[in-house]
Structure 1
Amino acid sequence: MTSFWTGTRVRLRGIEPEDWTGFMRFAVDEERLGDAVQPPRSAEGYRAWAKEQAAAETDGDCFRLAIEALDTGEIVGAVSTNHADPQAGRFEYGVTVGAGDRRKGYAVEAVVMLLRFMFAERRYHKCEARVLDYNQGSLALHHRLGFVEEGRLRDHVFLAGRHHDLVLLGILADEFDRLHPPA
């Protein structure tokens, strides 16, 4: 039997101390995709962060996992759950894939595994995502996964000298199940 966390292209796993180089690469790749440009962090800062993540206990239903490509064994991205509210039955999530590994199906497979866990195993009802309006790749990914635009916070984020809309997206457990039935 294959692990729940292993798909055809990727495996989701805990972050290891040696993953620091991947996360440093993702930070450079996503410098203009996030909601704020941060000052550069040192290599030692990434090493310490990855070591801390590797030793961290899971915070309930909020966690971060590395996305490892099965064909190379290399870390290609990460997924995380945030703001999990079991009483309301909703959570937010985030995904990042390195620039050289985008459009290979890694993000879709990783997100489907993550959502299947949160919906089928943890009994959540809704997943929410927030995407900047100019991030067309992320918006297309979310629509492909079945997320629906639920709102837009106009001129919500200031970045690169101007304001941008923040697009609010959501998918319900039953919508996810119809679009992504278990194998």
Structure 2
Amino acid sequence: MNDMWTGPTVRLRGVESADWEHFRDLARHSVDARNADTVEPPRSDEAFRAWTAERAGRSPGGDAFLLAVETTAEGAFAGAVTVGETDRRAGRFRTGIEIAREHRGRGLATEATLLLLTYMFAEQRMNKCEVEVYAFNDASLALYRKAGFTEEGRLRQHEFFAGRHHDVVLLGITAEEHWAAHDRPPVR
């Protein structure tokens, strides 16, 4: 079987309503939440159930979507990857990923990112993927560099949290750069 959503260690799948506890657990670590986006006030379990159920009920694909990252060996929820800010005219999109603490350091984020890039470049006719990473987030910077992204700039003192302003690093990868390092998916 050849499944473009499955790699050696991860599988990307749709979000299920039952994933609500996993998303709640991802949000419980303030440092992790900040690295992924922003720290929000605590939500109730019911709010997480509703948020996850709403995402589970969405039609797949489109210009913005969220996929669960699951380990292939255990079938365990390992995190989530997003696509957003899609500009079909220009052929570019943004992505982001969050991996649960217990699954970090195993290359899951890199593999999941590469699976997503292959889909977006091969099936959605996108030409470029962009990411924004806080300058202090060394793990995410290393992940995207390993996946072939190039630093394109820095927004100085761009975001405010933890009592001060922080730089944001802009990185990007083009379809041509991705295909130079990775095989296109087979037709048959």
Tell me which residue corresponds to 2:22: 22
- RMSD over equivalenced CA pairs, Å: 1.3
Unaligned runs of 5+ in 1: none
Tell me which residue corresponds to 1:114: 116
Q: 1:161 to 1:34 in 2, by over 3 A?
A: farther
8 A Cα contact 1:35 1:132, kept in partner: no
User: Is 1:3 equivalent to 2:3 in the alignment?
Assistant: yes
Cα displacement (A) at 1:5: 0.8
User: Is 1:97 equivalent to 2:94 in the alignment?
Assistant: no
Letter in 2 for 1:105: G
User: How many residue pairs are counted as aligned between the two chains?
Assistant: 183
Tell me which residue corresponds to 1:127: 129
Tell me which residue corresponds to 1:145: 147
Q: 1:34 to 1:6 in 2, by over 3 A?
A: closer
Letter in 2 for 1:18: A
2: CA distance, partners of 1:37 / 1:16 = 24
Letter in 2 for 1:121: E
Letter in 1 for 2:108: Y
Runs of 4+ in 1 over 6 A off after TM superposition: none
2:173 paired residue among 171, 174, 182: 171
8 A Cα contact 1:35 1:157, kept in partner: no
1: CA distance, partners of 2:20 / 2:126 = 31
2: CA distance, partners of 1:64 / 1:31 = 16
Letter in 2 for 1:156: H
| SS of corresponding position for 1:96 | strand
1:66 paired residue among 65, 68, 71: 68
1: CA distance, partners of 2:37 / 2:94 = 16
Q: 1:112 to 1:34 in 2, by over 3 A?
A: closer
Tell me which residue corresponds to 1:157: 159
Cα displacement (A) at 1:169: 0.5
Unaligned runs of 5+ in 2: none
Cα displacement (A) at 1:27: 1.2
**Given the two structures, how large is their TM-score scaled by the length of structure 2?**
0.93
1:82 paired residue among 53, 65, 84: 84
2: CA distance, partners of 1:59 / 1:105 = 25
